[in-house]
Structure formats: structure tokens, C-alpha cells
Chains A and B, each alone.
Chain A
Amino acid sequence: MKDLIFFLLVGLGLGALYAMLGSGLVIVYRGSGVINFAHGAFAMYGVFTFDEARRNGHLRLPWVDFLPTHWLNVPVSIKLSDKGVPTPVAFVLAIAMAVLIGLLAHFLVFRPLRNSAALGKVVASVGVMLYLQGVAQLNFGGGNRQASSIVPDSAVRNFLGLGKTYPEGALWAVGISVLMGVTLWAIFKYTQFGLATRGAAGNEKGAVLLGYSPQFLAAMNWVIASVVATAAAIIVGPIQGSLTPVGLSALVVGALGAALIGGLRSIMVAMWGGLALGAVQSLLGLYSTRSWFPEFLRSGARDVVPLAVIVLVLFLRGKSLPQRGSLEEKRLPLSPRPVRIPQHTVIWALVVIGAAFVFQNSGSRTVFAFALSTSLIAAILMLSMVVVTGYVGQISLAQMSLAGIAAFFMARMMAHGATTASNPFPVSGPGLPWPVAGLLGVIAAVVVGVLVGLPAVRIRGVQLAVVTVAAAISLQTLYFENQSATDLSAGAPANVRPASFFGISLASLGSKGLTDRPAFAIFVMIVLVLCAVAVSNVRRNGTGRRFLAVRANERAAAAAGINVARTKLLAFGIGAGIAGIGGVMLAFKQNDVSSANFVYQSSLAFLAFAYLGGITSVNGAIVGGLLAPAGIITATSNYFLKGTSIDRYVTVLGGAALVFTAISNPNGIAPAFQEMLRHLGNWLRQARGKEWAAVGKRLGPAFVIGAVAGFAIWPLRVDSYSKVWMPILGGLIGLLVRSIVLGIRQSITAKQQKRRRRSGPAPTRREPGAIGAGARTAVGSGVDTHVALAHAEQV
């Protein structure tokens, strides 16, 4: 009994961190409707700022200088002292940094996204997280830092007569977290600001009518949340573990648990929930070492059991979770009806087949062969996200886990008790041939996918995202890393024998060891084409229309006779099947797959790339595949920018690109790319000398200025950039800057026109492409435009 009490108490230290971070998540959600996956990263940057100022006397600003030169640089660091500043000064600096980050996050990222769909905000928060992690890596280094405590942290012997030693710092952390929770609760309950925030959370229009600015309130809430996160991380000190750019970011799962226990509404409940979560985890840590504890749960009990409880809570009270009332309806980008499928298929297939042969054993360019198969498989995986998220609007962060189910299950079905080069321990299994094993793997993925989708019947949006994270972590622990399920000892990878087809080997590795066999690339391409055609057909038939109707408005869909639950589960099943096929192909490519392939962060990254590509279309998945880790775009940038220092900034640039896309082009790259290609094709057909000259006149100056700047900057750089590529890069940046400037100018002009229109008589002329009056009415009556469009399409 003493053990039980003590270990519950000892977990309160970590619980205090969950409580404070969870409170911050609730504040941000109420203030701006965002579930901030970057919340842990905010705390991370703040605590690094504190540590760096105290240890080395530097203040590192939250950005980097991409083009450092010998004489003109963007300031990224301010030296305050040679030996480090006193602790109170460092604390103030860290809090100031938290304020700055909160404001920047609001004004640069989430304010522009205020009318975006939840998915856009999730992706943007992932972008912010990546950005901050990348900046922290560059500014603070990846060294081994241990956080020190700013509160008394001596050992309390025989704590409460329980016969054990308790760290005093944990008591302080708990006390401060409770104090902080009560203070925040009081602020939001009794102050005008708090009441206004709560009011705006319920009804933005009402808040506006009462004279409050929801965006000002949101900014204040971002600042409060950021400050709370930073203060929490500094106060708990060593409880958070080593200081790393990703450490605190990972704790956001626990904090989300606390926030969800509080229903994303109650700071006090979130606080107590966080404390309870920490306590339960500590107790499970103790019990999991006991002999009576189930072996299959031993390793992951600390992570899985609390998450399971959260999922249960969410499921039971799912429909009571708040959806923020906002000024405008938030919707996902349009999902265009696929057209010219045969033509697209033939073009893509020819390009892939050509590339597969061109890059085989082609010297240094062989890296593109590897990248090609990587991109094709990633595109398959992203197609599963197109179905689940793009078509039905359900955010699933377990798609990679479903791929893993198929891969691991297939590997087990192919195993026949023999050892392999990568695994000296024999794995038992029926030794089935690859088509049967692969099919069984996909079926297993579908079954699990439907189970994972069950909570979607009652909950949706970001809450569902958190539930799927829980599912992904559970699958990781209970299946991929569970020897009793996989028969894999010592973390050995699951081995998959290469496939063959009527004597033709479909192995990925060539004779020289490179992943460059055209037969494998074509094999993957055929599978991708089949999946893409299937998804396109789903979109084009009644199933797709039902998907879109559910995505647009579940109530309206139900009113129209659609079985929402069945539709959602069908989407999860189809998505899981496609993800499973992707997992099977990944296994064939890698030959050895490990649990690391299928962590939930992989799903998050793939979701982000799918969003970048365009998550609502098949072409978007293909573009997303090109962008995927180790895919074509990576290979291209590595190949052409070799020797530059640009690779140092990939995390920062990647995060910034995600945010930029979420804000400026929520449809993703593919639709814009398609549009651009169409224009380009038409233009090239018609262009004569005069047209060429006109384009040169329009774009030439920006390109030339950029190129000259690129060439001029090169010798000034501290690092080495290519003489050839830097001017080209400069030219392209010049064009980008030009388009941004033009975009801003257009938006200003549009605003002015809007203002003039408001002050003048109402326009009678309909804008080309504007939706019809029926659709407007539908929006006004609570039915989304997409339903109307879907309806129109049916008609």
C-alpha cells in the first residue's frame, strides 16, 4: 500500500508538467480554436533560451540566417555576458521569448488561418513545431544538456512516513502547477478578458457584436499559453529529462491527454487530469516490473494504458466536446472530380518507366532510382490519406501504423522458421507465398483500420487525431515491438523475401547492391496506378459523393439519408487497405522493416506532405509522394545543392514551407501545379516572338536581379555555395518574391474594392465562377457549399 501511495505521489512531478502544458493547450483552443501540436516546442525554445542565457550569456533569437556573409548578417544571437546571466534575468528573458513566440505564432501563422479547416491548422502547427525544432538545433546545438532546477530540489527523506525519499522539486512543481491552474481558472472565470475569451469561444459573431476583437483575444491567449508552457518547463527543470530539440515536443501527447480530459474547455479539470496522468504512469512504471504484470503490456504500459483511458473518455463523451463557433464556416479544400484518368495514367506510367531505366546503374544519378521507388510507395500511402482525410474529412494519424500492420503481418506469414542475414534468431510462420501473405497483411490492416475508425463515429476533427495518435502508439507497443506477436527477438527487423512474378524477380536490390531495379519500380508503379484509379473511381461514383457529403456536414448528410457511421467506417476501411498495400510495398523495397518505419510521427509527417501536395486529390498524393522523405525532391536537392550548406536548414525551411502552404495555398501544390501546367501548355502552343518578349519583360528583371544577387552573395558567404546554382536559386527566389509582392498588392486592391463596394450600391453582376444563389442559401442555412456542389454534381 505504501508503494502504491508513494509511486502515485512521485508521478505528480511529471503530472505537473502535463497539467501546465495541458492548461496551455486548453487556453489556445479556447482562444483560437487550434490544437497546438507545437505547444511542447514553444516550451522547448523557452527553456533553451533560459538555459543558454544562464549558462553562456547568449540570447538566441527564434530564427536563423540562411545566407550568412562576412559583413552583413541577420542578427540571430545577442551576447549579454561572458559567463552567463543571473537566473532571474535568464527567467525574464525566457518569458520575453515566450511572449515573442506566442505573438509571432498568432500573427504570422494562426491569424491568417483563422478561417481554415482544422486540418490546415494541424498542419500549420506541425510546421511551427518543425521550424522551432530546426532553429533550436541550429541555435543551441544538439549537445547533451541537462536542465537544472530553479526551485529548491533537495531530497526529502522518509517522505510522509512512507520510508522513501522524495525530490523536493516535484513538490514545488505540483504546488506551482496548482497555483497556476487556479490563477488561470480565476482569470478566465472572473475577468472581463476571460469572459470575453469564453464568449468568443462559444460564438465569435456574438463577441464581435459586443465589441470584442476575437483576434486580439486570440493573440492574448497565445501569449498566455506560450508563457505558461515556458514557465512550466523551467520550473519542473530536471523532471522533463534531457534538453533536446524534440524532447518536450514529444510530451505534447501527455499534455493533449490532460487537455482532452478537461474537454478542451476546463483548465481546472485539465490540470487535475494532467496530475492524475503523471501519477498513473508512475504507478504503472512500478507495476510493470512485477512478475504478475502481463508480459505483452510490460514495455508500453506507461504509454498505452493512460491513452486507452483517454480514448474511452473521448468516445463516451465525444459529442459533448466543444466545437468552436466561428465567424465563417471552415472547410477543407475542394476535392476536384478526377478527369482524363487514362491520359494521366499513361503519362505518369511512361515517365516512371523511362526514369526507372534511365537511372538504373547510372553512376551518381542512381540515387534517383532509389528516390523514385520511395516516392511511388509514399504516393500509395498518401492515397490512403486522400480517402480518409481528403474525402471524408477525418484526421487520422495512424495510417502509417496500418501500413505497418500489413508489413509485419505479411513478414510473419512469409516466415518459415529460418534465420536471415539481419536476424540470427529464427522466426516461426507458415511460409506462405508473397501474394497470399501480402493479401493477408492488407486484410489485417483493413480490420484494424476499421477498429481504429470506430471512435470516428462519435468524435471528429482534432479530437479524432489525438485518438488515432493513441491508437498508433498502442499498435507500436502492442504489436510492432511485441515479441510475442512478431516473434522477433532483440529488435531484429521483420524480413520479407523479394516478390517474383512468373519467374521474373521483383526484388528491389540490383546486383550491385543498389535499389535500382527497373522491374521493382515498375511493380510499384503498377500497384500505384491500380490504387490511384480505384481512388479516382471512388471519388467519381456515389460512394465518393457520400464521402464528400459527410465531410461537408454530417447532419446534412444524415438528413439526406446517408448512413454517416457506415460511410466513415467504409472510408477508414478503404484507407486502411490502401495504407496496407503501401506497407507491403515498403516491406518489399526495404526487405527489412522495423517498428521505426511506422511510428505515429511518420503518419504526421506523411499527412503534412500529403497536405502540401494536395490532400483532396489523387494528383496531390502523387506530388506528396515526390516530396516525401528520401523521395525525388530530396534526391534532387541533395544532388544539385551538394556542397552547399543548405542542408543545415532543411528542417527550418520544411517547417516554414508547411506553414506557408497552409496559409497561402491550402489546396496544396498539385492543383496549382496542374493549373500552371495547363496555362503553360496553352501558352506554349500559342506563343510567338511577341509573347516571349512580353514574358521576358515581365519576369526577366526579377529573375536577373535575383540571379545577380545570388552570384554576388556567393563570394560573401561564410559557407560555400555553388557558383552555378546560387545564381539560379537567386533567380527563382527573385520570381517568388515578385509573385508574393504581386499577391500582396492584389489582396490590398481587392480589399479596397470590397470596401468601396460596401460603401456604394450592391453589385448586381455575378462574378464569373461564383456559386449560385442556392449554394449561398445552403451556406446560410448551415449546409456547406460542398454539399451543394456535390448535389449539383449529382444533378
Chain B
Amino acid sequence: MTVRSSSRLVRGVVLASALALVAAACGSSNTKKSDSTATTVASATTAASATTAASATTAGATNPAGATTGATATSAATGTSAATGTSGTAGCPAIDASVDKDSGQGAGRFISDLTCADKKPLKAVGDPIVIGFQNPEGDPNGSFPEFSIAAKAAADYVNNELGGLGADIQNGKPGRPIKLEICKMAITPDDSQRCANELLTKSPFAVFSSINFFGNQFPIYAAAKTPVIVITPVTVGDFTSPGVFAIGGGGGCLGAHTGLVKFVTGELKATKVGIPWADTPPGKVCYYDLEAKPMDVLNGSVKGTSKVAGSIPGLTYLGVPIKPATPDITPAVTQILDFKPNGIIFSAQGADCWNFVNGLGRLGWTPDAIPLVMSGSCIDFDAMKAAGPLAKGVYFVGASGALLNDPKTIKDVRDKFEATTYQTKGAKFGIDQASLTKGFGTQGFTGVMSLWEMASKVVVDGGTLTQAALSAAYSKTNDQHLFGSTPLSCSTAPPPYVAVCNSEVSASKWDGTQLVPVIPRFSGIDLVAGTVIKPGP
């Protein structure tokens, strides 16, 4: 045990460099609909939302976002729009396929399933299916227990109410329970491979990799033909490894950084943008290829095939590298403010985000004076509350922000339903308050819910739940519903980012106490269409 203990000290720099990469927190990837989704989602869901608001507030505890919720949270969806689908023998609410249009294929069925299970919980039966979960935990250099706490809660929810993996709730057929094997890893390359070895000895059906700064576990899983679901992609391996499905975080910087650019220039109309960026090897590529280059596409200095290429000729920007976990950020912030930007975008890990905001505040900046847009990975309610006025009015671009929003403020029927589900079921199955309100907590929950949904899809589509079938199901996704996030589209992942399943994002704004949705779904990935990869200056 002394071994692991002392290895803690090894990892400061490691974590530091990689943490900054935890770009973004949301997204998904269908470039075809990127430009129009914002408006369509809003209009398609308004009618439903009025009726759902009331039913979502039955009796019960206060959720993290301040909404009143209760045991029948999932009934929120029951009174929504007209049923357009058929249901099975279990007497579940009719499937509203119209939701699929904006929330991804299967969204209507998903809502029906969860609503049904809420009234008549379906317990999983049979031998458990082992699911590995590799997570950095207990290391002073970086510990993210909220991932595994939320995933454990989701697994318990699936086992106790959603019938387990491969359940067909519409017909009342249970699946098998999940046995979540969590491997707590220290933040070292060796421990990453140790965990992979340890999990493989338990013959897992699939493995979750929450956040990993090395990417050296993939060849091990690949050799064992074990599907890997990456919850928060950060390394180049997360984006490019075959057999890996990066479902979270807006596809890492691919979705989040382009989304930040699109939001700050499109929604906020910024023409001078300050771009502090994570000074790490992957962070460098994320900046040059997915922030600087889209800016150049917009101002016409780089040719691209995007419809908006060259549409903002006067657009200028200044990139300032910031080492992760750096003390005294004042010099970097001074450079940014000296540029006199009318918009700032920043993507990093929580602590670095709020260190940056702190630094801005010390030089007299306020969000009203210069809008700040940060990635969803920066979302941390405790930190946001502690930052007080400095956080009020800050925008977040990511995929999982909606789960943390107060359901009362959400108009979209699906977002409202899932936010309510996450906040009630998460609390019911053991997520503590602090973990419940963290971006990584939502992503851990989302990961397991995604697995459940895909496993059920395999069975409902008439297949047998095997590793190959699960991998195939993920591989084929194209605009497939994903709980608490934008839809999955693994099949449309652009080379070399073949593992990226989700590069759409949403935008929300912190109003001082809660996140308020701004744009439910959009993508900036079109900004790099028709350009060559630019990994450096």
C-alpha cells in the first residue's frame, strides 16, 4: 500500500497537464442539423412543457436546483403530447415518437419506459452482468469520486426499477442486473494499465472509462475485445481509438471548443474574442485546430466549406496559453483583458475554470462587462455559488448542463423529464448533494443510463445482448437519444476522430442560483468542415 501512497506525489504535474483538457461537458455530433436545431427544439416542445411542469412537482424533497420533486418524478412526461406510438403488454404509457425528432431516436420510448417503471418498478433478474468502471479516485493529485458515486446510483436505479440490462419494459420483461466493478486508480500511466488488467480479470461485459489522462488502457481492452465507453474524453486516444465510444463531454474539445466559438460569435455576436487555452500537448491541438482555426474560418483567413465561412471578416482573437493548476494567473488574465475583447471563451477543468474567473475578478472584470463562455466541465454549483457575482451571467456550453437545471425552468419536455429523473432518482439511490450538482456526477449517471438504453435497444430489436451486439449498436448510432445529453452519432464520427460519438452541445447561463437554458442543442463542428487538421501554430 505504500506503493500507491507514494505514487500520489508523482502525479501533480501529470494531473495538472491533463486536467485542463477536460474540455467541455456536453454534446453530440450530427453536423447535418447543427444550425437549425436551436429553434426547432424550442418550438417543438413549448406546447408540452406547460402541462408537464405541474406534474413534475408532486410532493417531496427539494432538488439541487431548487425544484420541488417527488417519488413520481417520471410522471412528468405522462401528460405530454399526444401518443403516436404503440406500447407492449405491460400497460406502459404510449410512446410519443414526436419527441424523437428533436431529442434523438428512441427518446419517446425512453420516456415511456421510465414513466412506466416509475409506476411499476421492474427488478432485474438472473446472474449479474459485470461492468467495469475505471475512475481516478483517492489520489491527492486528482480525485473524482462523483463519477463512480453517480454511476453506482444509476446502476442501482437500473437494477431496482428499470429491469436491468436488456430489459424490455414495454413488455414487462426484465433483464439482468448490473454488477458495477469500480477500479479506483491513481493518476499515473502505470496505475491506468493496472486498473485495466484488474478489471479484465473480472471478465467485464463492457468498461466505462470516466476520465483518463493517458489513454494507455485502450490497447488492453481492445485486445480483450471489450467495448469501452468513455464518459469524459480528454486525450487523443479517447477520440481516435477503435472500439471506443466517447459519449460524453461534447466529444471532448471537438464539440465543446467549436461550440464555444459558435456560441460566442453567433449568439453573443463577439468580434474580439479572448481565448485562454490549456497549455498541454492535447490542449495545444484543441486550441489551434478547434478554436483558432474556426475563428480564422469565420473571418475568412482560412478557407472552409462551412456556410458561415468568411461571414465575420472583422473577427479577431487572442490566444493566451495557461498551464493547468498554475498559480497566479494575473499575467495571463492581463494579456486577455489588454486585448479589450467583447467575449471570452475558456475550456478547462473545474478548479482551473474558477481560478481563471477569480483572476479576472481581481482585475475588475464582471460578466456584464465582457461575456464569458466556459465549457460544461466547469460546472460546479458549489464553486459557482462561492464565486458569487463573478459567476452570475456566465454561460456554459456543454451537453449535460440540462440535468442540473431546475426542471421548473426547463421548457423542453425531454430535458425537463430527464432533469427531474436525474435529480430525484440520483438522490434516491445515493448520490450525495455535492456530487449531484457536479458536471462529472451527471456524466457518470448518463453513462450507465446510456448503457441501459443501448442494451434494451439490442434486445427490443430482436437481438441477443452480447459484447459484439452492444458494440455494433453503439457503432450504428445516428442521432440516437442519450439521457441528459445531446444525441449519439457514432456512425458519423469524422476521421480521425472515429471514437467521438457526441459533438453537439447545449448552452445555459448561471443566474446566481441555477442554470437557465439558453440553447438546447447546437453544434459548431461545421466550422472546421473542409479544412485540414492544424495541430500547432
Contacts and interface: CB of A to CB of B under 8 A. Distances in A.
A512 B225 CA distance: 8
Interface in A357-401: 363-367, 369-371, 374
A370 to B, nearest CB: 4
B330 to A, nearest CB: 5
A635 B236 CA distance: 29
Contact of A658 (B6, B319, B330): B6
Interface string B322-358: 0101111111101101100000000000111011001
A10 B335 CA distance: 11
B6 A137 contact: no
B197 interface: yes
A488 B221 CA distance: 23
B351 A165 contact: no
Interface stretch (B29-37, B71-79, B111-119, B381-389): B381-389
B354 A628 contact: no
Interface in B495-537: 496, 535-537
Interface size class for chain B?
A: 35 or more
B456 interface: no
Interface string A425-450: 10000000000000000000000000
Contact of B327 (A251, A366, A515, A641): A251
Contact of A630 (B3, B214, B216): B3
A10 B363 CA distance: 11
Contacts of A251: 327
Contacts of B237: 422, 492-493
B330 A167 contact: yes
Interface in A225-276: 238-242, 244-247, 249-251
B89 interface: no
B327 A241 contact: yes
A660 B178 CA distance: 43
A143 interface: yes
Interface in B206-226: 213-216, 218-226
Given A143-B434, A481-B281, A596-B14, A515 B193 contact: yes
B430 to A, nearest CB: 16
Contacts of B2: 609, 612, 627, 633, 650, 653-654, 657-658
Contacts of A605: 6-7, 9-10
B200 A592 contact: no
A654 B1 contact: yes
A694 interface: no
Contacts of B196: 513
B184 interface: yes
A567 B350 CA distance: 50
B218 A422 contact: yes
A651 B236 contact: no
Interface in A720-746: none
Given A144-B382, A241-B327, A512 B223 contact: yes
A489 B285 contact: yes
A604 B330 CA distance: 31
Contact of B351 (A13, A136, A242, A289): A242
B100 interface: no
Contacts of A419: 496
A772 B326 CA distance: 56
A150 to B, nearest CB: 14
Interface string A115-137: 00000000000100110011011
Contact of B197 (A515, A593, A627, A658): A515
Contact of A244 (B140, B197, B364): B140
Interface string B1-21: 111111111111111111000
Nearest to B215: A422
Given A242-B355, A596-B188, A422 B219 contact: yes
A486 B274 CA distance: 30
A766 B15 CA distance: 57
A164 B338 contact: yes
B121 interface: no
A11 B331 contact: yes
A647 B144 CA distance: 15
Contacts of A130: 5-6, 8-9
Contacts of B141: 245-246
Tell me which of B2, B193, B331, B334 has the highest count of chain A C-beta atoms within 10 A of its own C-beta.
B2
B320 interface: yes
Contacts of B338: 164
B214 A609 contact: no
Nearest to B13: A599
B142 interface: yes
Contacts of A631: 3
A592 B216 contact: yes
Contacts of B188: 596-597, 602, 629-630
Nearest to A250: B12
A246 B12 contact: yes
Interface in A1-60: 6-7, 10-11, 13-14, 17
Contacts, number: 350
Contact of B358 (A146, A363, A653): A146
Interface string A181-214: 0000000000000000000000000000000000
B201 to A, nearest CB: 5
Tell me which of B350, B354, B355, B496 has the highest count of chain A C-beta atoms within 10 A of its own C-beta.
B355
Contacts of A133: 8-9, 140
Interface string A619-654: 000000001111101110110010000111111111
Nearest to B4: A650
Interface string B245-286: 000000000000000000000000000000000011111110
A421 B1 contact: no
Interface string A486-520: 00111111000000000000000111111110000
Contact of A651 (B8, B14, B359): B8
A537 interface: no
A611 to B, nearest CB: 10
Contacts of A367: 194, 197-198, 201
Nearest to B365: A155
A597 B187 CA distance: 10
A591 interface: yes
B281 A491 contact: yes
Interface string A282-316: 10011011000001001100100000000000000
A650 B355 CA distance: 29
Interface string B136-150: 001111111100000
B220 A6 contact: no
Contacts of B4: 629-630, 634, 647, 650-651, 654
A164 B285 contact: no
Contacts of A591: 216, 219
Interface of B: 1-18, 138-145, 184, 186, 188-191, 193-194, 196-198, 200-202, 213-216, 218-226, 235-237, 240-242, 279-285, 319-321, 323, 325-332, 334-335, 337-338, 350-352, 354-355, 358-359, 362-364, 380, 382-383, 386-387, 434, 496, 535-537
Given A594-B214, A651-B140, 13 more contacts: A142-B140, A144-B382, A144-B383, A239-B327, A285-B332, A370-B197, A513-B220, A597-B190, A605-B6, A609-B6, A627-B2, A651-B6, A655-B6
26 contacts: A130-B9, A137-B138, A144-B380, A146-B358, A146-B383, A146-B386, A155-B363, A238-B362, A240-B327, A246-B15, A247-B325, A249-B12, A367-B198, A374-B190, A421-B218, A421-B219, A481-B17, A512-B223, A513-B196, A515-B193, A599-B11, A599-B13, A601-B13, A634-B4, A647-B4, A650-B2
Interface of A: 6-7, 10-11, 13-14, 17, 126, 129-130, 133-134, 136-137, 142-144, 146, 153-155, 157, 164-167, 169-170, 238-242, 244-247, 249-251, 278, 282, 285-286, 288-289, 295, 298-299, 302, 363-367, 369-371, 374, 419, 421-425, 476, 481, 483, 488-493, 509-516, 590-597, 599-602, 604-605, 608-609, 612, 627-631, 633-635, 637-638, 641, 646-655, 657-658
